[in-house]
Amino acid sequence: MPAVQETIDQVRLIDVDQYKYGFETTIEMEKAPKGLSEDIIRFISAKKNEPEWMLAWRLEAYQRWLTLEEPTWARVDYPKIDFNDLYYYAAPKNQSGPMSIDDVDPEILKTYEKLGIPLREQEILAGVKTSKIAVDAVFDSVSVVTTFKEELKKAGVIFMSISEAIREYPELVKKYLGTVVPTTDNFYATLNSAVFTDGSFVFVPKGVRCPMELSTYFRINEKNTGQFERTLIIAEEGAYVSYLEGCTAPQRDENQLHAAVVELVALDDAEIKYSTVQNWYPGDKEGKGGIYNFVTKRGDCRGKNSKISWTQVETGSAITWKYPSCILRGDGSRGEFYSIAVSNGHQQIDSGTKMIHLGKNTSSRIISKGIAAGVSQNTYRGQVSTHRKAENARNFTQCDSLLIGDRCGAHTVPYIEARNASAQFEHEATTSKISEDQLFYCLQRGIPEEAAIALIVNGFVKEVIQELPMEFAVEAQKLISISLEGSVG
Amino acid sequence: MNMQAGIKLTAAEAALVDTYNEQLGDLPGDGATLLARDTLLSDLKKAGLPTRRIEAWHYTDLKALLRAVPAFVLGADAGRVDPIVPGSAVLSVVNGKAHARVMQEGITVRSYGEALLDGSAAGDLVARDSDDVIGRINGSFVRDGLSIDFEDGLVVESPVEIQSVQNCGQVNTRFPVRFGAGSKATVIERHLAVGKEAALVTSVTDVTLADGAEVTWIIFQSEGEADTHLAQFKAELGANARLRLYVINAGGKLVRQEIDVAVTGEGSDLTLRGINLLGGESHTDVTFNVGHDVAHTTSTEVIRNVVFDRARGVFQGQIRVAQDAQKTDAKMSCNTLLLSDDAEFSAKPELEIFADDVQCGHGATVIDIDHTQLFYLMARGVPENKARAMLVNAFVAEIVEELEDETLVEALEGVISDWLETHA
């Protein structure tokens, strides 16, 4: 069955020419000279007042990067990137790091206001209806403000920009940085290791349940710059944290590169919930401009019974190359991946996840929903593997896709690798099979077919949406009513 | 990939090149045929055997797995065996040497070696794409095979068995087969070994179904424990043609069976059923591609794998639906029973869809034997090994039973139980 009208209308609402965040902030910027070299890396490191070991770490990654080749296996197509034609550092003048909100350039504050991101703690408090959210706001290469730092500190939670953390908690950063995504991991992660400029650092100590939602809002503003952020989240034994990132960029004809690395570490019984609402500029109707989103995100369930859960709502970027993954190392650990990816216009998405079962009694769950419209290409690529010693590994995967129009493509590429007789893997990409039963039960109770389908679909999509923190579910709300009817595997 | 250019050849690669040079004057065909062979070999030499960096070979690193190539043995004796289904008309291929014979009226059989000699087969000797190493090896070395033609409207009652028996050395065969419009037939393509010594077997089957043809094609592979079996099955379906393809792997040390079906006629249907019985230290890879190129076509694929010992299994399946292929209905499932902690199975069931009004799906599972079922059987006094064998048998027999022909079902169930008895 083709897509129903309601779905088509909903997808049109978020079509590429409806992009609301395409404005540009005019502000005086300080940039590193164009290009990439050891000197640029020294420049970035010096700007951030980094210790010597950090610079050495970056330079080593850079040397490694020079030997690597850009990956070509993904189902995306773009002209070769000239890595020497980019600015690797751009920061608002007089702002080389986070400062008190009163000192931040009003233009920047206005930008975040327009984006709907609350940066003033009292404003957030005024809106008592929602619970508190601490925000780290990253503008091009620097973090400009981090809110609720003091309050979080009382609970023992460290939430600050990674540049600050490198200076203030070098031992913690040193202990965990690069242990989930090593500097040798892949082309873009290695590049990020060499030139990352900012990002967030979260440390939740033993037994602490982080008292509020944490979030980082990434904004690319400057022309010709690449944004290379690095986020590191550590949840010690029994800790819990929920974190959300959002991202937007101005509308421009050129393509811009965003190559981030996110590392999560969950120790015994800890839980990390990481949500993304990715809304980078997707390019225009003709496919001109837009962000290349080449991101490495990985969580390490290092401790027993730990849990990492990724939720993503992807509507932006010209090209997305992203596979938030879980290494299920600790016995009894659990990984989850919930994703809604909508591609419009000329967007290309190659995204999915990896669930690597290493410990005993580990389980994982993947629910992915892709919707392709326009002339876009939407690929789910996911890997589920068990190690020989990973007894009783369990996986359930369900990925569905829907095509709107006959000029786009939807693709599913799962890799299922079982090396242990006690593994139980189920990969399911047929919606009709599940909904036939459900539909039957609804019809039997006298619910008309259209209403029954809406009911089932809402129930399914909510599964993903409800994983998002309440405050941000609104952003994804418009996707809720998208019908799964007529979807293909 | 450019990085492989000029790289030192592995022992197996070097052996292939040497064998070619030794056999050069001996291989049937000159002129265009020879030129085609030369091109394929030189491409093979340039690219080498594929590694896991080549996506199509991701789980079968042929460069690492194919360590040696047995020497070519001229005139090694292999003999013949009884057909799987009693009463089948047998077309015999002994150690790569085909014996064309007169069949019932309406079936024309010709030696492929002759087609190579007279140059009419030269056009076949091309690689599908740069990943087509089987096409390259087979095209370089092919000596014989059978061209078979079923005339329009012909209905063949009992099965035709193409029986390729080998005993060590190298066997390279091709089987172009055409089924005329409205014809009906059952063909069993059987590859088996009689000796214990290693052999390298490559075989390419190229089947065309004209409009309205209905064909059941069964590939039964039971090579020896030391053998390498690299095979391709290609098919093109005309309008309203129906192909029921069964692929049963129950032997070999290193096996790659590629299946490529082009659903090019409206209203046509492909039914693929695969059974992989894997044991010992074997590595078996079934790589399947179906392309739905026109509207209103259907395909279903069910693959059942049973993996014992230290065996490794691979299933890569891709359903492609072209932009014009509206109303396609395609479903693929791959179910695996892993029966040993040292066994491995990797599956990559892929969908590539460009049409918006289609129904496509795939499912894949990997499980162990259901312990409650095992318990219930044992509680009734069935010894554990027997109970296991029963459950495993039921898991694969289910899809054999879909064939309505009783003698065929019985014969296939027989070979499956035989295998399970010696391996479970």
pLDDT tens column, A267-283: 999 999 998 888 788 88
What's the average model confidence in pLDDT over B82-99? 92
- Region A455-464 average pLDDT: 60
Check pLDDT > 70 for residue A82: yes
Nearest CA of chain A to the CA of B50: how many Å? 16
**pLDDT for position B25:** 85
Preferred mutation among A355, A406, A416 to probe B, highest tally of B CBs within 10 A? A416
Q: What angle do CA B129, B132, B134 make, to 5 degrees?
A: 155
When CB atoms are compared, the residue of B326, B331, B342 closest to A430 is B331
- Mean pLDDT for all residues in chain B: 92
Query: Does the beta carbon of A67 lie under 8 angstroms from any beta carbon of chain B?
Result: no
Q: Are B217 and B271 in contact (CB under 8 A)?
A: no
Residue A304 Cα distances to A258, A311, B134, angstroms: 34, 22, 47
Residues of chain B with C-beta less than 8 angstroms from the C-beta of A407? 323
Q: In this complex, which of A2, A404, A418 lies closest to B344 when CB atoms are compared?
A: A418
Calpha distance A77→A317 (Å, rounded): 14
By Cβ distance, the residue of B347, B348, B351 closest to A429 is B351
CB contact (8 A) between residue A414 and residue B341: no
Q: Say yes or no: A412 contacts chain B, CB-CB below 8 A.
A: yes
**φ, ψ (nearest 5 deg) of residue A125:** -65, -35
CB of A430 less than 8 A from some CB of B:
yes
Question: How far does the CA of residue B24 sit from the closest CA of chain A (Å)?
Answer: 38
For A370-402, the pLDDT digits (tens) are 888 888 899 999 999 999 899 999 999 988 887
Look at B362 and A412 and tell me if their CB atoms are within 8 Å.
Answer: yes
Answer yes or no: is pLDDT of A4 > 80: no
Of A3, A388, A416, the CB nearest to B366: A416
User: Contact at 8 Å (CB) between B265 and B296?
Assistant: no
Instruction: Give me the numbers of helices (H) and strands (E) for chain A, helices first please.
Output: 12, 24
Q: Do A416 and B347 touch (CB under 8 A)?
A: yes
Going by pLDDT thresholds of 50, 70 and 90, the confidence category of residue A440 is confident
Instruction: Return the H-helix or E-strand segment holding A452.
Output: helix A449-465
Which residues on B lie below 8 Å from A409 (Cβ)?
A: 352-354
| Chain-chain contact of B344 with A405 (C-beta, under 8 angstroms) | no
Are B55 and A486 within 8 A, CB to CB? no
Counting every residue written for chain A, the total comes to 489
pLDDT at A33: 86
Range with lowest mean pLDDT among A14-28, A192-206, A258-272: A14-28
Percent above pLDDT 70 for chain A: 83
Q: Looking at the complex, does the CB of residue A156 fall below 8 Å from at least one CB of chain B?
A: no
For an interface test with B, the pick among A376, A402, A408, A430 (most B C-beta atoms closer than 10 Å) comes out as A430
- Name the residue among A416, A419, A421 with its Cβ closest to that of B364: A416
**What distance in Å separates the CA atoms of residue B142 and residue B136, rounded to the nearest whole number?**
10
Instruction: List the single residue in B344, B353, B366 with the smallest CB-CB distance to A425.
Output: B366
A430:B361 CB<8 A: yes
Give the orientation angle of helix A431-444 with respect to helix A449-465, to 10 degrees: 130
Query: How far apart are alpha carbons B68 and B71 in whole angstroms?
Result: 9
Instruction: Test B368 with A424 for CB contact under 8 angstroms.
Output: yes
B78: closest CA of chain A, how far (Å): 37
CA distance B6 to B18: 17
CA distance A137 to chain B (A): 39
Q: In this complex, is the C-beta atom of A423 within 8 Å of any C-beta atom belonging to chain B?
A: yes
User: Which among B346, B348, B363 has the least Cβ separation from residue A428?
Assistant: B363
Calpha distance A23→B259 (Å, rounded): 52
Contacts of B340 in chain A (CB under 8 A): 421
From B341, B360, B368, residue closest to A488, measured CB to CB:
B360
Alpha-helical regions (H) of B182-332: none
By CB atoms closer than 10 A (0-12, 13-18, 19+), residue B151 is middle
Phi-psi region of B347 (alpha: psi -120 to 50; beta: other; left: phi over 0): beta
**Set of chain A residues whose Cβ sits within 8 Å of the Cβ of B348:** 413-416
Is B353 in Cβ contact with A410 (below 8 Å)? yes
Q: Which of A2, A407, A417 sits opposite B346 (nearest CB)?
A: A417
Asked if the Cβ–Cβ distance from B361 to A401 is below 8 Å, we say: no
Phi-psi region of B192 (alpha: psi -120 to 50; beta: other; left: phi over 0): beta
Higher pLDDT, A326 or A368: A326
pLDDT value of position A3: 61
Cβ distance of A416 and B359 shorter than 8 Å: no
* Closest-CA distance of chain A to residue B255, Å: 18
Least confident of A76-80, A245-249, B31-35, B248-252: A245-249
Chain B contacts to A (CB-CB under 8 A): 55, 58, 323, 326, 331, 336, 338-368
The rounded distance, in Å, linking the Cα atoms of A124 and A148 is 10
| CA A287 to each of CA A249, A276, A341, B96: distance values in angstroms, whole numbers, following the listed order | 16, 24, 18, 55
Is A411 touching B (CB cutoff 8 A)?
Answer: yes
End-to-end Cα, chain B, rounded Å: 42
pLDDT score recorded for residue A429: 66
pLDDT 10s digits, A338-350: 888 888 888 999 9
Strands (E) located in B57-197: 89-94, 97-98, 107-111, 144-150, 160-166, 169-179, 184-193
Both structure tokens of B120: 């009419």
* Per-residue tokens: A101: 């909100």
Give percent of chain B above pLDDT 70: 97
Lowest mean pLDDT among A63-77, A132-146, A231-245, A287-301: A132-146
pLDDT at B240: 97
Phi, psi of B202 (to 5 degrees): -125, 140
> How far is Cα A72 from Cα A260, in angstroms, rounded to an integer?
18
Share of chain A above pLDDT 90, in %: 37
Give the C-alpha separation, A209 to A211, whole Å: 6
Amino acid at position B314, single letter = V
Phi and psi based region of residue A374 (left: phi greater than 0; alpha: psi -120 to 50; beta: remaining): left
Contact A425 B364 (CB under 8 A): yes
Flag if A416 and B348 touch (Cβ within 8 Å).
yes
Q: How much is the ipTM here?
A: 0.84
**Out of A409, A427, A429, closest to residue B354 by CB:** A409
CA distance A425 to chain B (A): 5
Q: DSSP letters of A109-134?
A: HHHHHHHT----HHHHHH-TTSPPEE
Cα A202 to Cα A206: distance, rounded to the nearest angstrom: 13
Please give the full DSSP string across B387-420, using - where no structure is assigned. HHHHHHHHHHHHHHTTS--HHHHHHHHHHHHHHH
Whether the CB of A70 is below 8 Å from some CB of chain B: the reply is no
Q: What is the CA radius of gyration of chain A?
A: 22
Is A52 within 8 Å of chain B by CB?
no
Interface contact flag, B323 A417, Cβ < 8 Å: no
User: By CA distance, what is A420's nearest residue in B?
Assistant: B341
Mutate to test the interface with A, among B353, B357, B374 (most CBs of A within 10 A): B353
**Tell me: the pLDDT tens digits for B181-240?**
999 999 999 999 998 889 999 999 999 999 999 999 999 999 999 999 999 999 999 999
B372, pLDDT greater than 70? yes
Instruction: Please report residues of B whose CB lies closer than 8 A to that of A432.
Output: 359, 361
Chain B residues with beta carbon closer than 8 angstroms to that of A428 = 363
Of B326, B348, B368, the CB nearest to A415: B348
SS3 state at A438: helix
pLDDT at residue number B357: 77
- On the question of pLDDT at A415 being above 80, the answer is yes
Q: Contacts of residue B336 in chain A, CB cutoff 8 Å?
A: 418
Among B338, B355, B358, the residue with its CB nearest the CB of A418 is B338
Do B346 and A430 lie within an 8 Å CB cutoff?
Answer: no
Question: How many CB pairs below 8 A link A and B?
Answer: 124
Domain boundaries, chain B: 75-370, 371-424
Q: Rounded to a whole number, what is the largest CA-CA distance in chain A?
A: 71
Residue A211 has what pLDDT?
A: 87
